[in-house]
Amino acid sequence: MAEDVFKALADPTRRRILDELAERDGQSLFEICTRLVTKHGLGLSRQAISQHLAVLEAAGLVVSRREGRYKFHDLNTQPLERIVARWLKSDTPESSP
């Protein structure tokens, strides 16, 4: 699972998508595309952004939900929290002064 997260985070476009979802959760594909163009100058097709979202979703970093005919995307930080917790355990002797 951690390998999927690292693979997903390796791409700068996917990191920008996560940044946008961190700033405002629950965006549709159209909203994400619009924000990437206006804020970052990324003129990728909706299909390309959709493929990036699929990689993020497979890694567990994005959760999608349908409401009617619209699909909304939310950031899921749990995979990142597990990775951070793995390396930042407070009970190690090195962390004591």
pLDDT digits (tens, 9 = 90+) for 31-80: 999 999 999 999 899 999 999 999 999 999 999 999 999 999 999 999 99
- CATH 1.10.3720.10 correct for 2-87: no
Whole-number Å distance between alpha carbons of 43 and 59: 24
What is the mean pLDDT of the segment spanning 16-23? 97
Q: Taking Cα atoms as reference points, which of 64, 66, 82, 83 lies closest to residue 17?
A: 64
pLDDT reported for residue 90: 62
Domain ranges of the chain: 2-87
Whole-number Å distance between alpha carbons of 9 and 19: 11
pLDDT reported for residue 87: 84
Q: How confident is the model at residue 92 (pLDDT cuts 50, 70, 90)?
A: low
